[in-house]
Amino acid sequence: METREAIRTRRSVHDYTDEEVTRDEIRRIIDDIRWSPSSYNLQPWEFVVVDDQEGQEELREAAYGQEHVTDASAVVLVFGNLDRGAYAERVFRDQARKGYSSDERAEELIERMEDEQPEGNEEWAVGSSTIAATTFMYAAWDRGIATCPMGGWEADAVCETVGAPETWYPVLMMTVGYPDTDGTEWERERKIRRSTDGILSFGEVGGGE
């Protein structure tokens, strides 16, 4: 699918067919999202996919009973790794080896990331992981697989369900599956969008309407 078509036609889906999204399909999507950008190339995203009945029921409870959590083929949990040192050594040595920085700079950054738990670290984790999660939505839709990113779930219960370590900050839950387009929400006119002129100003803020 053309990029612009993917962007313009992707919509959040609550109604799924019974067709399973295979683990191989999920792997292929993750193989695409690996190329998402991140600050310092630290790639602090972690994906856990829950595709068994019991797990999805637990997550549905954590999501205040939202039905599509169990109706969907799988649920994708996206975490941001708060430990900036987790992949620092590999990432910075790679950059030095390929000429992006010097060995000295690499050493300095490895040390800094391993020490650092700076203010605003949660926001950093949310921002970085959301880039990867958004890429997931388009890479999935390109294969005809719909997603529904969800607010409204209990973070502690979600972390417990999958055994997330302390340093994994839960960022997004999304259901995935093939859309059921027959007699469902799909047939409704799409929801309104703000206008381009409302979203965009040049030079300085010109109002958000």
Q: Show contacts with its own copies in window 171-200 (CB under 8 A).
A: 171-172, 185, 188-189, 191-196, 199-200
Residue in the block written with tokens 């889906």? 13
Q: What is the DSSP letter of 190?
A: P
| Cα–Cα distance, 182 to 189 (Å, whole number) | 14
Helices (H), 34-175: 53-62, 68-71, 88-97, 103-115, 121-141, 155-162
Query: Mask of contacts with its own copies, 11-50, x by CB under 8 A?
Result: xx----------x--xx--xxxxxxxx-xxx-x-xxxxxx
Instruction: Tell whether residue 82 is a contact of its own copies (CB under 8 A).
Output: no
132-151 residues in contact with its own copies (CB under 8 A) are 133-135, 137-139, 141-142, 149-151
Question: Residue 133 CB, nearest distance to its own copies (Å)?
Answer: 8
149, HSE (Cβ side, Cα atoms, 13 Å): 17
β-strand partners of 174: 76, 149
Among 18, 53, 65, 163, binds its own copies (CB under 8 A): 163
Shortest distance, position 117 Cβ to its own copies, whole Å: 16
Total residues contacting its own copies by CB under 8 A comes to: 89
Query: Per CB under 8 A, which region of 63-71, 104-112, 116-124, 175-183 contacts its own copies?
Result: 116-124
Return d(Cα 165, Cα 81) in angstroms, integer.
9
